[in-house]
Amino acid sequence: MSRIRGKDSAPEMKLRRLVHGMGFRYRLHVKELPGKPDLVFPSKHAVIFMHGCFWHRHEGCKLARLPKSKLDFWKTKLEANKERDLLHQRQLQNLGWRVLVVWECEMSDMDHVSAIVRGFLCEIRRQKNEID
């Protein structure tokens, strides 16, 4: 487990390159926010989490299968991760932040991810314009 990266994983780097290429600028892993989101857009009051399917229990995903050994340990640990993620998302939403979760398995279709991210960030822009 010591080789598992918490930051700068290959899927996260791929997402960061995509978002930067779209012209959006962001901050990384802001520790003052619950869950230290991977990408933070302060002016848009939005965050994006890049979740690994195994570690964050992506439901219905083949990458989220349980290991065959030490099943009790893994089940407890991975479910706790999932609960903690939901808690952080609720906390962020209560603070007025919009939250998007991008899953590791989605990164195989970058056109799909690009559309999701663009829709998420541009929706914020539209809402802000409606308020102003």
Q: In the beta sheet, which residues pair with residue 38?
A: none
Q: Return the sign of the alpha-carbon dihedral for residues 116, 109, 14, 91.
A: positive
| pLDDT tens digits, 29-86 | 999 999 999 999 999 999 999 999 998 989 888 888 888 899 899 999 999 999 999 9
Angle, helix 110-131 to helix 10-21, in steps of 10 degrees: 50
- Domain locations in the chain? 10-127
Flag whether pLDDT at 129 surpasses 60: no
Give tens-digit pLDDT for 82-125.
999 999 999 999 999 999 999 999 999 999 999 999 999 987 55
- Report pLDDT for 66: 86
Which of the following CATH numbers is that of domain 10-127: 3.20.20.370, 3.40.190.10, 3.40.960.10, 3.30.750.24?
3.40.960.10
Residue 123 confidence (pLDDT): 74
Cα–Cα distance for residue pair 5/8, rounded to 1 Å: 7
Q: Tell me the three state secondary structure of residue 105.
A: helix
Residue 132 has pLDDT above 60, yes or no: no
**The pLDDT value given to residue 8:** 75
